[in-house]
Structure 1
């Protein structure tokens, strides 16, 4: 599930968006964000192993900085999930439409329904389903890179940085969508029977993601050039596999999308129950939040939030950047909490490095930081209402 969360549907369009922003120098943005992922991922794994809770990052932030900070961090994630899952489903749907002829919006709806259904069936069921899907997905992406790489041309890397450093920064801003996901698994930390399992899963995911991201980013530019098509994965597979590429790409789109949506919904459902337990959501949504249970009410609320986003979906680039801004804010809050909570030693040093790098990455989100700012106001308003009701009940 962790591989599925990080290796999401952004892979289908982000090589094109990054190259459009930075030219061949987009590979520097990919490399920089991979470097950021290492301390961030290991920090969240250390926190999850030491403080397992369905609240995930919000729980960590609450222990470090108090109830109000926990509510804000929780709403950043909980509010970002409908934006990100709908954006991801729409990206996957467009690929399915282009490759298999199925209406893209219908495909997006079916992917969302499948993910909600898998989570309603329970975490063990959705986790088993995802094991097979992720294995197939990794094999298909590796095939795209290996078969297309021999067709690379060094001339496609010149001029290397036509838009300068500003272009690399702009590329990093949109690529954040492909590097969030570590915080999603923190909400599943309480589900591990062996707390070290989260650390092992994180290390494996880092290796898999690094190999695939480096391969896709370098190969896409080397083979297709910076002015690549908006569906680069299809183009790479067509070069490597010929006419078989289209149906294969459609399958990859479904796997990428379902994997990310499935994990984010699992994390958000458990987070919502934890937020309700702590007063940042109405208490009615707290049911089902214990380890091993399924928080149906919180999962249903995510479905309700997703419907208007799906109906009134704006430009995909906007949805992706808004989601990235929220999750980048969550990352900063989480690693900052780790600096305060983890014992002195290598884990705290890793957290300090991760905090500095995450703050820089957050700045790349620019004007889209208005979205987490708005969600912070919502979180504080809900807490205020809860406090007033508690006071009246006490009277």
Structure 2
């Protein structure tokens, strides 16, 4: 099966990869700068107070080796399997299958989380109640899956335009909020001590867990070896400026309201736009939610086809997994799982914090093994040192997930169970 991962069989006689620098960077930004930026500053402030700013800065700094390690791996081994491909090359088929299942199975949970965040802002702007917000969230999911069924060329171009608008609007919110930052809002700085800062790191990892999603798109780039490092660098620069800026002004300008308001970004934009802030924020929420959903669905659907190719999912799902093709069957399965996860979340009224932490636990587990694979696969002292640092950082974050670790453990058991039943199934 490993032979299928060689570079030689990636391209010939199939549709050509379509992602260039512009659309590729937009897809990466969509994966990293997701709708979490709308909710996470407030959730982190509730856990750590103003000290959440420190958590943001530390996580951004430590995420650099993670991003660069994934960029190096994706440039060297471009494949729809993404992290599962890296882990397969480093550690073999069984760990790779588990990693693939972690990412594929958590996307339905994370997708509804993105839909909730976007729907909350849009619903507030339009004065909608629970039913209206629910319909908006479901509409976002339908739009993302529909765009991916049409193909990355369309959805990637759409993403480029949306990300340009997004960065401009978030920049306006940051500048407007900066003019109202008060030192009084930064005290007490760490009301919940170190424990609060660690807890904030657990939920904030959601904001930094897009590198593994984007790695599944590596085979869609026209020149991965040349483009991926540059795309990663541009993405790091843009999201770092926006994350740090928004985290500071959210706490510094809104004070205690930062931890309680479900629409903190609207309050920041009100300083610059007045009554127009609510509809503008609704646009930002739609862009962020669709951008993240678009990229994660694109990556996960291609991963599903790659897992089927490698024997970790039914072979029927492998169709459409070549670069430039559309994995419609994997998309249909992913959509069905998303519908189930969404129904369960709505029925049992799971809150946003729980959904984000469950998603973060799985994505952190994926990232740990991906970074560990980089330690084995990358050559050169500096590259390996970077990968070792990335592995250590993500391991610490994973450990902070506490009982949410039961989610990746349960999925790992399902992945191993599938491999066992496949091995035991008689052949004719």
TM-score range, shorter chain: over 0.9
- 1:123 CA drift (Å): 1.1
- 1:230 CA drift (Å): 2.5
Alignment of 1:1-395 (within 5 A): 1-102=27-128, 103-195=132-224, 196-228=226-258, 229-313=261-345, 314-389=350-425, 392-393=426-427
Q: Secondary structure at the match of 1:86?
A: helix
* Greater shift in the superposed pair: 60-69 or 190-199: 190-199
- 1:344 CA drift (Å): 2.3
**Aligned-partner Cα distance in 1 for 2:285–2:262:** 14
CA contact (8 A) 2:113 2:355 kept: yes
Q: Secondary structure at the match of 2:56?
A: helix
CA contact (8 A) 1:24 1:226 kept: no
**Aligned-partner Cα distance in 1 for 2:165–2:85:** 34
**Aligned-partner Cα distance in 2 for 1:282–1:232:** 44
Which residue does 2:14 correspond to in 1? none
Q: Secondary structure at the match of 2:124?
A: helix
Structure-1-length-normalised TM-score = 0.98
- 1:355 CA drift (Å): 0.6
**Aligned-partner Cα distance in 2 for 1:232–1:173:** 20
Structure-2-length-normalised TM-score = 0.90
CA contact (8 A) 1:20 1:227 kept: no
Q: Which runs of 4+ in 1 moved over 3 A?
A: none
**Aligned-partner Cα distance in 1 for 2:178–2:385:** 38
- 5+ long unaligned stretches in structure 1: none
CA contact (8 A) 2:33 2:292 kept: yes
- 1:240 CA drift (Å): 2.5
**Aligned-partner Cα distance in 2 for 1:179–1:173:** 11
Q: Secondary structure at the match of 2:30?
A: helix
The one-character-per-residue Cα deviations of 1:86-106 (angstroms, maximum 9, x if unpaired) are: 111011111110012451111
- 1:239 CA drift (Å): 2.2
The one-character-per-residue Cα deviations of 1:277-305 (angstroms, maximum 9, x if unpaired) are: 11111111111001110000001111000
CA contact (8 A) 2:120 2:262 kept: no
